[in-house]
Amino acid sequence: MTNIKTDLTNVSTKDLSEELAKRTGVRTRVVDVDSKVILFEGAEQEVISGPAIVIINQD
């Protein structure tokens, strides 16, 4: 299988996110405008305020 690179600089983030969401091993979480998500990694944490879409890629 050949690995052909495509220039994605002109593809919108919305379109990229929607395409990723269709893939196996990828999950999304929608964070509403009045909600927050806290991501923990070891002793560090990051608070993400909505509106946002969190993409989890475990592929």
- For residue range 15-26, list pLDDT tens digits in order: 999 999 999 999
Note whether residue 4 is domain-resident: no
Average pLDDT rounded to a whole number, residues 34-42: 96
Domain, as residue range, for 35: 25-57
pLDDT the model gives residue 1: 60
CA 21 to chain centre: 8
d(CA 37, CA 41) in angstroms, rounded, equals: 13
Note whether residue 3 is domain-resident: no
Note whether residue 18 is domain-resident: no
Note whether residue 17 is domain-resident: no
pLDDT at 51 over 70: yes
Give strand pairing partners of 7.
Answer: none
